[in-house]
Amino acid sequence: MFSTPVLIGVGLAPAIVVLGRLSGLDRDRALYPTALIVIAAYYVLFATMGGAQALPGELIAATVFIVIAVVGFAPASGGPRRGSPATGCSTSWCTPA
């Protein structure tokens, strides 16, 4: 039915979410987009290790992951991002008064 790598991935995904929640790392909205970009890098790494015939398809998959991460991270309102001079914050974790 499902191969071992798929089952491992399905098991690790919720583990990453739980670890992010319990450790507080998910307070920064960059955690999950960064995780998607790292996953995309692994696609390319393993395709390179697997041989040249796998690389084009995995590059397409990696590109899709990266585009989803960047588009999902973009601010929804079009207003200034946290940490920009317009908000009065100099770091990404502060909130203006």
Q: What is the pLDDT of residues 38-68, one digit of tens each?
A: 988 988 888 888 888 888 988 998 999 899 9
> How buried is 23 (Cβ within 10 angstroms: 0-12 exposed, 13-18 middle, 19+ buried)?
exposed
Q: pTM score > 0.75 for this model?
A: no
Tell me, what's the pLDDT at 18? 93
Confidence of residue 92 (pLDDT cuts 50, 70, 90): low
Q: Classify residue 94 by its DSSP letter.
A: -
Q: Are 26 and 20 in contact (CB under 8 A)?
A: yes
pLDDT tens, position by position, 7-26: 888 888 899 889 999 999 98
Q: Are 47 and 58 in contact (CB under 8 A)?
A: yes
Tell me, what's the pLDDT at 79? 52
**Domain coordinates in residue numbering, the chain:** 28-73
